[in-house]
Amino acid sequence: MKTLPKILVTSAAGKTGLYVTLQLRQQNYPVRAFVRRKDHRSEALERAGAEVFVGNQYSLTDMRTAMTGVSRAYQCAPTAPNGLHFNAVFTAAAYDAKLEHVVTLSQWLSSADHPSLFTREVYLGDILIGMRPEMSVTTVNPGWFADNYLMVLDMAAHLGLFTMPLGAGDQKKNAPPSNEDIARVVVASLTDPAKHAGQTYRPTGPELLSPNDIAAAMSRALRRRVRYMDISERMMVKALKALPPSNYSVAAVTQLALYADEYRSGSFAVNAPTDHVARIGGQEPESFEAIVRKHAAGQPGLVKSPLRSLGAMARFAKILATRPFDLKRAEAERDYVQLSAPVFAQDDASWQATHQPASITSPQPASPEPL
């Protein structure tokens, strides 16, 4: 029986890291799951047979320790203004550990002069991780996750409204991938480096959807009428900051507003959908309706009732009463690096040249590594 290499998964309790770990364990790969604390997610990873490592992903000492005895890794930077620091720590530790292969989670908007600091940091991180010629790299760069729409599922379930600043309701601008489907592409790339080294993959859902399509899928999954309401970025930012417990820092909110700008301009529709989930991940991508159904099944609070509807109305009233949030001021107060002439994705000739179908590869699916 062939001994399988141990794989490190960073951000292992996160949106994609959790599923990467679980899918690797289903194939009997030894996995070290890097988490920041013990909780129900880390317990699920332990039950699946993963070795849970609790540490600080921004600590070079912790990252070096986590990479001891590891030959491959999934690099998944947290959504934070210090993402570049994480990538530098990861790259330095990978150099010391002499990793043979890394799969890195990039970003569809990644470009040198993007207005988003987070996006520019991802671009720099991609350069750093590719600088050691002895280590092969596979890049996975999804766009707007299906998970992003689930932020407003409570309002959809109880008020019948899908509210986001996505522009006209009838324009098809995104093919949203599930967290599990993104993980399938990552896992295929981790388990067969010889086939996937040097490749770039863009996992998507099965079809381009409009905001009205998203609302209709929510309607079917939740068994109630849901309609799309286009709101301003200002209202979206107020909503993200008004309703605790929020998973979004002030820094993340400022960047989400920029991504909504890109959404309206159609950047996430470029080269979508792809066949990478099916051809690389080995399974047809999940429909958005299926994603909502699965999520709602684990959320009893989404079941409609008069009391929950009243609670949703109260939360909506709180959003309306929240003071406006000045994004530019927030960035200035945090001393973000500013560019004199930032460029959105579709105005960037370099981004356009590297994000067309010919530049995004799609080989045959990987064969499982023998046990």
Does 62 share its domain with 192? yes
Domain for residue 16, yes or no? yes
Does 369 score more than 50 pLDDT?
no
Burial of 194 (0-12, 13-18, 19+ CB in 10 A): exposed
Does 134 share its domain with 79? yes
Number of helices (H) and strands (E) in the chain: give both, helices first: 16, 9
Residue 363's pLDDT band, with cuts at 50, 70 and 90, is very low
For 283, the 3-state DSSP assignment is coil
Does 157 share its domain with 43? no
CATH number for the domain including 69? 3.40.50.720
Query: Is pLDDT larger for residue 162 or for residue 248?
Result: 162
Does 166 share its domain with 64? no
Does 118 share its domain with 217? no
Residue 360's pLDDT band, with cuts at 50, 70 and 90, is low
Query: Is pLDDT larger for residue 186 or for residue 310?
Result: 186
- Residue 323 is predicted with a pLDDT of 73
Does 316 score more than 80 pLDDT?
no
Query: Is pLDDT larger for residue 148 or for residue 246?
Result: 148
Domain for residue 137, yes or no? yes
Does 93 share its domain with 229? no
Does 235 share its domain with 181? no
Does 157 share its domain with 67? no
Does 24 share its domain with 152? no
CATH number for the domain including 257? 3.90.25.10
- Residue 371 is predicted with a pLDDT of 37
Verify cis geometry, omega within 30 degrees of 0, for the bond prior to 245. yes
- Residue 184 is predicted with a pLDDT of 98
Domain for residue 276, yes or no? no
Interaxial angle between packed helices 288-297 and 211-222, expressed in degrees from 0 to 180 and rounded to the nearest 10: 40
Does 227 share its domain with 190? no
Most confident listed range (25-34, 82-91, 108-117, 318-327): 25-34
In angstroms, the CA 43 to CA 336 distance is: 37
The secondary element (H helix, E strand) that includes residue 206 is none
What tens digit of pLDDT does each residue of 23-79 get?
Answer: 999 999 999 999 999 999 999 999 999 999 999 999 999 999 999 999 999 999 877
Does 325 share its domain with 246? yes
Domain for residue 67, yes or no? yes
Does 226 score more than 50 pLDDT?
yes
DSSP 216-263: HHHHHHHTS--EEEE--HHHHHHHHHHSSSPS--HHHHHHHHHHHHHH
Burial of 307 (0-12, 13-18, 19+ CB in 10 A): exposed
Residue 307's pLDDT band, with cuts at 50, 70 and 90, is confident
Burial of 295 (0-12, 13-18, 19+ CB in 10 A): middle
Q: What is the number of domains present in the chain?
A: 2
> First-to-last CA distance in the chain?
6
- Residue 280 is predicted with a pLDDT of 97
Does 244 score more than 80 pLDDT?
no
In angstroms, the CA 302 to CA 319 distance is: 19
Residues of the domain holding 238: 146-174+205-265+300-337
Does 147 score more than 90 pLDDT?
yes
Residue 365's pLDDT band, with cuts at 50, 70 and 90, is very low
Domain for residue 72, yes or no? yes
Does 87 share its domain with 38? yes
Residue 366's pLDDT band, with cuts at 50, 70 and 90, is very low
What tens digit of pLDDT does each residue of 263-301 get?
Answer: 999 999 999 999 999 999 999 999 999 999 999 997 877
What tens digit of pLDDT does each residue of 97-136 get?
Answer: 999 999 999 999 999 999 998 899 999 999 999 998 999 9
Does 324 score more than 60 pLDDT?
yes
